[in-house]
Amino acid sequence: MTCGTLLVHLELGQPNQPILRVTADLADQFASSVIGVVACQPIQIMDVEGNYSGELVQQDREEIDRQTREAEAEFRSVLGKRAGTLEWRAAVTFAGLSDYLASQARSADLIVTGVDPNRSLVLAPRRTNMSDLVMQAGRPVLIVPHTVERLKLDRVIIAWKDTRETRRAVLDALPFLKAAGHVAVVEIAPEAELDFARSRLQDVAAWLARDGIEADSIALPSGGNDPAQLLGVLREQHADLVVAGAYGHSRLREWVLGGVTRDLLLRAQHCALVSH
């Protein structure tokens, strides 16, 4: 994967400085162009007779327009001198916001988005269903926690699981891994499978070495709560970025994420690059 074009997703009515600064760091690191995107659903309020309230709809649209202008000004102010080229896209849509954002991913190599751990993964009408975005995008997604101000790549952890999703994520993360100061591949496995886990990690480390990336291998016995154990490892390793496969299953029209993926998105205090 290359990082020639980044797509950064901004929220309306919220400060976006942290995620924009992280995007600026990426643009500096990889000489990237950046597409800024905002999207929201319009208000839908009916009166007692089932008719839409024109006055409220107009007020809502004016508020959306105001917030969109503010978000674009913030986008251009932070990234104006740090990205190759800038492009701005905004949409008001009745469709799901994750559907719109996933469709815009056709223009980029990487999606950069944020999540506040104090919020749910699903917030409407001006918040994106993060589960759906990650699972539908067809591009790697860099999740930036609300508390992160800068992107450091001193220590990168690969959360290994021998699956298609993880293999895809590590391939997508190669630009980050090549720029990292230290890389470790970590697998949490049942005690009886630790020897197999070590063998798998040796294969991964050897593959990375052929791309000039030196990586430590760490196989740990499962303590029964893999998401919590992984987060503990990330804290102990002082990880700046974790690379992981995104796992989930469809339920009706939305995606339900697996425990590790959900915790990486909601509870972690570091950036996470995930692919499905």
Domain locations in the chain as residue ranges: 5-145, 155-275
Q: Assess whether the region 5-145 and the region 155-275 belong to the same CATH fold.
A: yes
Q: What is the pLDDT of residue 48?
A: 52
Q: How confident is the model at residue 122 (pLDDT cuts 50, 70, 90)?
A: very low
User: Furthest-apart CA pair in the chain: how many Å?
Assistant: 68
Q: Return the CATH number of the domain spanning residue range 155-275.
A: 3.40.50.620
The residue ranking higher by pLDDT, 145 or 154, is: 154
> pLDDT band for position 258 (50/70/90)?
low
What average pLDDT does this structure show over 133-158? 90
Number of CB atoms found within 10 A of residue 79's CB: 21
pLDDT in tens, 215-243: 999 999 998 888 888 888 888 999 999 99
Q: Which of 118, 62, 94, 86 is nearest to 10 (CA)?
A: 86
Question: Which sign does the torsion angle of CA 79, 77, 12, 16 carry?
Answer: positive
Model pLDDT for residues 90-99, shown as the tens digit of each residue: 999 888 888 8
User: Residue 128 has what pLDDT?
Assistant: 79
Over residues 62-69, mean pLDDT: 93
**Per-residue pLDDT band at 116 (split at 50, 70, 90):** low
Instruction: Report the topology of domain 5-145.
Output: Rossmann fold (3.40.50)
Of 73 and 264, which is predicted with more confidence?
Answer: 73
Please say whether the beta carbons of 257 and 225 come within 8 A. no
Kind and range of the H or E run holding 164: helix 164-172
pLDDT reported for residue 262: 66
Question: What average pLDDT does the structure give for the chain?
Answer: 86
